[in-house]
Structure 1
Amino acid sequence: MKSCAIEKFAKVLVDYSMDIQKGDNLCIQTHIPSLLLVQEVYKQALQKGANLTVNVMVEELNELYYLHASDEQLAYISPLKVLEVGHFDAFLVILGNENIKSMAGVDSERMAKRAQAKKDLNTKFMQRMCDSDLKLCITQFPNNALAQGAGMSLRGYEDFLAKACFLNEENPTELWRNYSKEQAKICAFLMGKKNFRIVSEGTDLRFCAEGRTWVNCDGRINFPDGEVFTGPVEDSVNGTIRFSFPGVYHGKEVEDIQLKFEEGKVVHADAKRGKEILESMLNTDEGARRAGEFAIATNYNIQTFTKNILFDEKIGGTVHLALGSSIPVSGGVNKSAIHWDMVCDMRNGQIYADDELIYENGKFIIDF
Structure 2
Amino acid sequence: MPTPHPDYLSRYAHLLVNYCVNLQPGERLFVSSTTLAEPLITAIYREALKAGGHCEFSLSTRGRSEALREYGSPDQFAYVPTLYERAMNEFEAYINVMGPFDLRQPPAAPELEAARREALRPLHDTYFARTADRRLKRSMCIYPTPALAREAGMTEEEYTDFVFRACKLDQDDPRAAWLDVRERQQAIVDHLNGCTTFRYVNDRSDISFTTNGRRWINSDGQTNMPSGEVYTSPEEDSVNGTIYFDYPAIRNGEEVRGVTLEVKDGEIQSWKAESGQKTLDETFEIEGTRRFGEAAIGTNYDIDRFSKQILFDEKIGGTVHMAIGQSYAQAGGKNESSVHWDMIANMRDGGKVYADDQIIYENGRFLIDRLGK
Partners in 2 of 1:260 and 1:112 — Cα distance? 27
Alignment-mate amino acid for residue 368 of structure 2: I
Alignment-mate amino acid for residue 196 of structure 2: K
Alignment-mate amino acid for residue 135 of structure 1: K
Match of 1:55 in 2: 58
More displaced stretch, 110-119 vs 7-16:
110-119
Q: CA deviation at 1:73?
A: 4.2
State the TM-score, normalized to the length of structure 2: 0.94
Contact between 2:266 and 2:291, CA under 8 Å: does it hold in 1?
A: yes
Match of 2:30 in 1: 27
Alignment-mate amino acid for residue 320 of structure 1: H
Match 1:89 to one of 76, 88, 92? 92
Partners in 2 of 1:176 and 1:127 — Cα distance? 25
Instruction: Map 1:1-368 to 2 at 5 A.
Output: 1-58=4-61, 60-101=63-104, 103-107=105-109, 110-111=112-113, 114-285=116-287, 287-348=288-349, 349-367=351-369, 368=371
Q: CA deviation at 1:112?
A: 5.1
Partners in 1 of 2:81 and 2:33 — Cα distance? 18
Q: CA deviation at 1:115?
A: 2.8
Q: CA deviation at 1:303?
A: 1.6
Contact between 2:88 and 2:136, CA under 8 Å: does it hold in 1?
A: no
Contact between 2:188 and 2:368, CA under 8 Å: does it hold in 1?
A: no
Contact between 1:256 and 1:272, CA under 8 Å: does it hold in 2?
A: yes
Identical residues among aligned pairs (%): 37
Deviations 1:258-283 (A, max 9, x none): 11111111110111111111111111
RMSD: 1.6
Contact between 2:128 and 2:329, CA under 8 Å: does it hold in 1?
A: yes
Partners in 2 of 1:123 and 1:61 — Cα distance? 26
Q: CA deviation at 1:24?
A: 0.9
Deviations 1:93-145 (A, max 9, x none): 111101111x3354467535533442221111110111221110111011221
Partners in 2 of 1:297 and 1:366 — Cα distance? 15
Partners in 1 of 2:108 and 2:228 — Cα distance? 32
Deviations 1:54-85 (A, max 9, x none): 10023532243345444454444345443221
Contact between 1:297 and 1:317, CA under 8 Å: does it hold in 2?
A: yes
Structure 1: any 5+ residue segments left out of the alignment? none
Partners in 2 of 1:284 and 1:361 — Cα distance? 35
Q: CA deviation at 1:195?
A: 0.8
